[in-house]
Amino acid sequence: MIELINLSKKYKEKYVVKNLNLNFNDGEISVLIGPSGCGKTTTLKMINRLIEPSEGDIKIDGKSIFDFDEINLRRGIGYVIQEIGLFPHYTIFDNISLVPKMLGWDNKKIEKRVNELAELINLPKSYLNRYPKELSGGEKQRVGVARALAGDPKILLMDEPFGAIDPINRKSLQDFFIEIQKTLKKTVIFVTHDIMEAIKLGDKICVLKDGEVVQFDNPENILKNPKNEFVENLLGANRNILRLSLKRGLDYIKKDYKIIENFEIEKISSFSESLFIVKENEDFKGYILKNDFEKGRKCLRNILFINENTNLLDAIILLLNRGEKVLIIKCIERGIMGYLKLDDMLKVFEKEEYELSNK
């Protein structure tokens, strides 16, 4: 556990962080959020002593960070910043293996670890010999996460790690991070100014304003009961929609679909299922909805896949962006699991809205 105890930081006479008392639980993602200048990054950097606290203390598993050697403290804490933090003159392998090397691991162990991480972040092995400039923004950021994980630290500090990435890639990076966190169970402190990101990733969210805590709770409670106007404004007028990001698409899955081969389309006369997924050899060609078919529209629509962790909000946004009605849920181990329809997801939202307004 990480405990912040009466933690303050002041520059000259001005407090940028004021008397914080917070506990971050092991294995959870705790998100620090607030407008710029609220002290979120300062708080984060005090944990690995990139910034020295002016007052108060930080304890990691009961031991004060001042009782650690500064350098050893940092080697034991993973640190992820925006993509620029990769060292451009090091290959991907050298970037990832930097901390293990400093920790004095032998070469065999280092190589094994790097390969393990490359697999984890879904990076082809051939990329390990490349330089950062040869990678895309999303790939670089995944390498940034891998580099922070290399020394197998218990704690990860992440300072707006996905901030410089375009929205679509940011979503997939978030999904990727949720996925790996499920098995890694690191204690993560995550700084962001994106409320959707905070709700999606956070087990706990800490809302900061002018260096002080406004509200510290899980996303569900923050969305249900924002403590004051400031938090309400931060959540925005559409906070009921944001609640959809706490629900998994998988829980609203429909299974009355059938996979058919492309040449079979012409033979279809009636639908028993409400969705046909059309395949040709191993490629998915598209889908046809029962309703469309009965109205005489037989052309295939574009098929979109999501994984089993995708939340309802991301699913809806994806559908709206691409102008489609149906998403197929496909997981790596089990293949196609079923589908989600836009109408069904919107009904979930309506129901929520109704319940909230009658409370």
Minimum distance from residue 80 beta carbon to another protein (Å): 9
Minimum distance from residue 9 beta carbon to another protein (Å): 16
Minimum distance from residue 175 beta carbon to another protein (Å): 24
Minimum distance from residue 85 beta carbon to another protein (Å): 4
Under the rule (CB under 8 A), what is the footprint of another protein?
48, 50, 71-76, 79, 81-82, 84-91, 98-99, 102, 131, 133, 147-148, 157
Minimum distance from residue 165 beta carbon to another protein (Å): 15
Residue 96 or 312 having the CB closest to another protein: 96
Residue 93 or 339 having the CB closest to another protein: 93
Residue 9 or 18 having the CB closest to another protein: 9
Minimum distance from residue 51 beta carbon to another protein (Å): 10
Residue 51 or 253 having the CB closest to another protein: 51
Task: State how far the alpha carbon of 297 is from the alpha carbons of 271, 303, 320, 344, in Å.
Answer: 13, 16, 21, 22
Residue 34 or 85 having the CB closest to another protein: 85
Residue 19 or 82 having the CB closest to another protein: 82
Minimum distance from residue 81 beta carbon to another protein (Å): 6
Residue 88 or 323 having the CB closest to another protein: 88
